[in-house]
């Protein structure tokens, strides 16, 4: 997940925004922790989309 700069993914949520939203919902984290959380969520999102595409492209040939 450290290869964040090479992902070429536009990130719309900043760590500061994540800190604010999480804090408003009772979860207090630092900006560094929020950055790690966002890295994980973007990674998970990318993985999910790739798996969905893979599953649908393999079932389209049947």
Residues making up the chain, counted from first to last: 62
Helix or strand run (H / E) with residue 44: helix 31-60
> Which range of residues forms the domain containing residue 50?
4-60
Please count the structural domains in the chain: 1
Instruction: Please give the span between the terminal C-alpha atoms of the chain, in angstroms, as a whole number.
Output: 35
pLDDT by residue, tens only, the chain of 62 residues: 455 555 677 899 999 999 999 999 999 999 999 999 999 999 999 999 999 999 999 876 66
pLDDT score, position 27: 98
pTM: 0.75
pLDDT score, position 10: 86
């Amino acid at each position: 997940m450290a290869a964040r700069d090479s992902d070429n993914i536009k990130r719309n949520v900043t760590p500061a925004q994540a800190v604010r939203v999480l804090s408003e919902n009772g979860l207090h984290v630092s900006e560094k922790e929020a950055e790690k959380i966002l890295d994980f969520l973007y990674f998970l999102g990318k993985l999910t989309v790739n798996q969905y595409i893979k599953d649908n492209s393999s079932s389209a040939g049947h």
